[in-house]
Amino acid sequence: MTSYAFDLLVEEAALCRLCGPMGCAPVLSQRNGPAPARLMFVAEAPGRLGGAITGIPLSADETGRRFARWLADAGIERSSVFVTNAVLCNPLDARGRNRPPSRRERANCGPWLARQIDAVAPDVVVVLGAVALAALEEIAPHGLTLRSDVGRAVPWQGRTLVALYHPSPRTRAVRTDGQHSADYRALAALVESVVR
Ligand code: SF4
């Protein structure tokens, strides 16, 4: 179920080619999740073997499987949450591999992200990783850093903002799977405590 504002946003974003050639068309549709939704996740960009193929952020690849596992650990239904990325298209390097979005691509996609937050109207926004943190900082300052603030809830734009590490296997160097799982269980408790 989605609102008229969200459906309109999907139609408009589908036409965007502002960044030039990317690895896929914008990954934004009713398959991202319900709009409105109480809980919204913002990750980095659709992955070459995941969202860029399925049209569903954080799905099908190893990153998506890790995300799904920790949602399940926390008793959070994937179908109840809205999931998107700081940039809607898949950034690829010259060899066709995933790369982080550039600052320009992040800035280009910022207005689409701001409109998604408005349309989804979540009580709690969870940023997954440094790229998403930077993207939200450009919408409105929050001052959070991954180094100091993982799991800390702060007020932001009339909502609650929480920063977690990105679920990519690359984050194993800084966060164990057990820590990730605990982060999602704490998040579930936080969402329950947030007054509607
Ligand atoms: S990444 Fe965002 S701004 Fe860039 S082309 Fe895709 S939808 Fe447009």
- Indicate if the alpha-carbon torsion angle 50, 54, 55, 56 is positive or negative: negative
Q: Give the pLDDT of residue 2.
A: 78
Contact 44, 105 (CB under 8 A): no
Q: CATH number of the domain that 121 lies in? A: 3.40.470.10
Distances from the Cα of 78 to the Cαs of 41, 93, 154, in angstroms?
11, 30, 23
pLDDT at 194: 84
Residues 6 or more apart whose Cβ sits within 8 Å of residue 7: 30
Q: Find the 24 Cα to ligand 1 centroid distance in Å.
A: 10
Q: How far is the CA of 186 from the centre of ligand 1 (A)?
A: 33
Q: Determine the structural domain holding residue 155 and report its residue range.
A: 4-193
pTM of the model: 0.97
Q: Of all atoms in ligand 1, which is nearest to the CA of residue 105?
A: 4
- How would you write the pLDDT of the chain (196 residues) with one tens digit per residue? 678 999 999 999 999 999 999 999 999 999 999 999 999 999 999 999 999 999 999 999 999 999 999 999 999 999 999 999 999 999 999 999 999 999 999 999 999 999 999 999 999 999 999 999 999 999 999 999 999 999 999 999 999 999 999 999 999 999 999 999 999 999 999 999 986 6
CA-nearest residue for atom 4, ligand 1, is: 19
pLDDT at 90 (0 to 100): 98
What pLDDT is stored for residue 195 in this prediction? 64
**Residue 30 confidence (pLDDT):** 97
Atom index in ligand 1 nearest the CA of residue 91 equals 1
Residue owning tokens 């066709």: 96
Tally of domains within the chain: 1
Nearest CA to ligand 1 atom 2: 109
Q: So what's the pLDDT on residue 196?
A: 62
CA of 51 from ligand 1 middle (Å) equals 14
CA distance 171 to 75: 22
